[in-house]
């Protein structure tokens, strides 16, 4: 598909939608993906969303075939924050970040209807009704025994030692975090350390004040600057889980 980009708009493919939610008290955040129906891409998205404690909701996928490179508009039956409102159906490798729309809902009420339309012709290509009954108050993992408790840890907490030892390009990582997780003072303090390991230790020393959203931002920056390392650590976690 990458090699024949000139004609990709004319090649229909089977696509799927993936919806995940995170319930925090009465507030709900949804992540909506429109991606090629590829099992490796679905697994990569599932793994990443699970690390952030997002839970998938099963809804039917689009019925008709769609086109790589085409753009689609996400809308809702209620006036909600949808960022971004436009998604491109593109083929990214499982190791890359996949595109999604984030939808914030202050109160579910009787439910909301999501729709995706073809931007060019505004044809309806997919819709789904999200009901309060689709949302479980807690993650299924919370009911597991204590031996599974480490799975509730954030990726950064699980792999802190490996990240300190093996992240080699710290300055590009800090540049991505500057203004998001790090203020100017913290940014300069981390950069002042003489070695990469020293910088990573200093960065993690600041994590006591991070929210889970902050940790998600650090994880995303690590995934962009050190994709092979993050993929390897994910695979190691999966093999340990299966072995137990």
Tell me what pLDDT residue 71 has.
93
Query: Is the domain of 13 the same as that of 44?
Result: yes
Same domain membership, residue 161 and residue 79? no
Rounded to two decimals, the pTM is 0.58
108 with 172, same domain: the answer is no
Let me know whether 97 and 16 are in one domain: yes
Q: Nearest 5 degrees, angle CA 166-CA 172-CA 176?
A: 115
Look at residue 59 in the predicted model and tell me its pLDDT: 92
Report the pLDDT value the prediction gives residue 139, as an integer from 0 to 100: 43
Q: State whether 127 and 157 are in the same domain.
A: no
pLDDT at 242: 42
Query: 3-class secondary structure for the chain?
Result: CCCCHHHHHHCEECEEEEEEEEEECCEEEEEEEEEECCHHHHHHHHHHHHHCCCEEECCCCCCCCEECCCEEEEEECCCCEEECCEEECCCCCCCCCCCEEEEEECCCCCCEEEEEEECCCCCEEEEEEECHHHCCCCCHHHHCCHHHHHHHCCHHHHCHHHHHHHCCCHHHHHHHHECCCECHHHHHHHHCCCCHHHHHHHHHHHHHHCCHHHHHHHHHHHHHHCHHHHHHHHHHHHHHHHHC
Residue after which a domain boundary falls, among 82, 100, 134: 134
Confidence at residue 111, expressed as pLDDT on a 0 to 100 scale: 83
Question: pLDDT value at position 149?
Answer: 40
- Domain end (from 134, 154, 183): 134
Examine the domain organization and report whether 193 and 117 are in the same domain. no
The whole domain housing 126 covers 5-134
Q: How far is CA 96 from CA 19, 160, 202, 212, 228, in A?
A: 19, 22, 27, 21, 10
- Each residue's pLDDT tens digit in the chain (244 positions)? 454 555 555 678 899 999 999 887 667 889 999 999 999 999 999 988 888 788 999 999 998 999 888 999 999 988 888 999 999 998 888 888 899 999 988 777 778 899 999 998 999 999 999 988 888 754 444 434 334 444 457 889 889 999 999 999 899 999 999 988 999 999 999 999 999 999 999 999 998 888 888 888 898 899 889 988 888 888 776 654 444 4
Domain stop point among 134, 159, 181? 134
């Amino acid at each position: 598909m990458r090699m024949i980009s000139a004609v990709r708009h004319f090649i229909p493919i089977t696509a799927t939608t993936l919806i995940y939610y995170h319930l925090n008290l009465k507030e709900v955040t949804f992540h909506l993906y429109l991606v090629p129906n590829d099992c490796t891409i679905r697994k990569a998205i599932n793994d990443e969303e699970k690390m952030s404690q997002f839970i998938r909701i099963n809804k039917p996928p689009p019925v008709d075939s769609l086109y790589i490179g085409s753009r689609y508009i996400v809308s809702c039956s209620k006036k909600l924050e949808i960022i971004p409102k436009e998604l491109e159906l593109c083929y990214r490798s499982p190791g890359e970040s996949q595109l999604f729309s984030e939808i914030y809902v202050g109160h579910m009420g009787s439910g909301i209807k999501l729709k995706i339309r073809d931007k060019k012709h505004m044809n309806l290509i997919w819709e789904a009704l999200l009901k309060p009954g689709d949302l479980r108050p807690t993650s299924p993992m919370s009911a597991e025994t204590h031996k599974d408790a480490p799975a509730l840890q954030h990726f950064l907490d699980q792999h802190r030692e490996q990240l300190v030892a093996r992240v080699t390009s710290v300055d590009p990582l800090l540049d991505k975090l500057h203004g998001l997780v790090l203020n100017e003072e913290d940014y300069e303090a981390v950069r002042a350390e003489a070695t990469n390991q020293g910088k990573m230790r200093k960065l993690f020393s600041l994590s006591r004040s991070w929210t889970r959203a902050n940790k998600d931002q650090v994880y995303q920056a690590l995934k962009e600057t050190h994709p092979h390392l993050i993929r390897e650590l994910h695979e190691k976690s999966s093999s340990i889980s299966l072995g137990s």
